[in-house]
Amino acid sequence: MFESFYPSMSWADHRAHWPHAQHSRFVQAGGIQWHVQSMGQGPCMLLLHGTGSGNFSWRGLMPALAQHFTVIAPDLPGHAFTSRGPEHALSLPGMSEGLRALMLQLQLTPQVIVGHSAGAAIAAHMALHIDSMSHSTLIGLNPAWLPLPGVASWLFGPAAKLAALNPLSAWATGKMAAKPGAVADWLSRTGSTLDKEGLALYTRVLSDSGHVHGVLSMMAAWRLKPLAAHLHELRNPVFMAIGENDQTVPPALADEACHRLRQAHKTIQAGLGHLAHEEDPIGTVQHILRWCTQG
């Protein structure tokens, strides 16, 4: 609803400030106009960012990973420069289906899927429901595979639905994000501290009402209970990197995920928060490359 009031971000307005812009292209697949960055050669690795972010989240990892893989990093539907797509495209099954269509269009099958937070939930759903990805190595960075406790569970659903239905919510949020220090304060609540480039990029997307409306619509459509109920059915190699100071997805949920996924391996990233891969991209790359040889 209100999509005509909230178009996707303008590539022309932001290209000069976007990391690895020379590797960007736009691809039509599954009724969605995708903004995708691709880099490197070799086996395919799909990178899926989390809620509210964009493929810029992988800016520090992509060059190093591209030395070993064909790295594909899309903006998720409704985020940054990717359109929202058809009805239900922002739900967990809808995003999985959209990404399946994208990979078919690119004629690639990911041997490795790396997902951060909600991106890890999409990765797990794809592995469970798409035959060609049933053996892909899954790497979850602070993965949101299980329903969040307390207030967070309410924000992903009822509160977000109300906000998405209010045509002023995304506009008002964007205005707040544009205020000096606002985004830095918001991100600090995740337990992470980002550099100036990271803060500037998050300020760009979170002050754009189109991006914010896409995020709110995704949160309103998000349901993790069905995924959690089937998580134990995953047979893929599974690895997790958990930021010790994550204030968004409680690290204790990783223990529960390991209980359900007996094949899973967990690493703690000391002193880092929910955006650990952006705080320490090289350290995260080292974990990913080591796990790829084990998977």
Return the domain boundaries, the chain. Answer: 3-294
pTM of the model: 0.94
When the candidates are 3.40.640.10, 3.40.50.720, 3.40.50.1820, 3.40.1280.10, the CATH number that belongs to 3-294 is 3.40.50.1820
pLDDT at 161: 55
pLDDT of residue 173: 76
Round to whole Å and give the CA distance between 100 and 274.
Answer: 27
Q: How does residue 178 score in pLDDT terms, banded at 50, 70 and 90?
A: confident
CA–CA gap between residue 264 and residue 274 (Å, rounded): 19
* Contacts for 237 with CB less than 8 Å, ≥ 6 apart: 137, 138, 263, 291, 294, 295
Does residue 74 contact residue 228 with C-beta atoms inside 8 Å? no
> Each residue of 38-85: pLDDT tens digit?
999 999 999 999 999 999 999 999 999 999 999 999 999 999 999 999
Average pLDDT over residues 182-188: 90
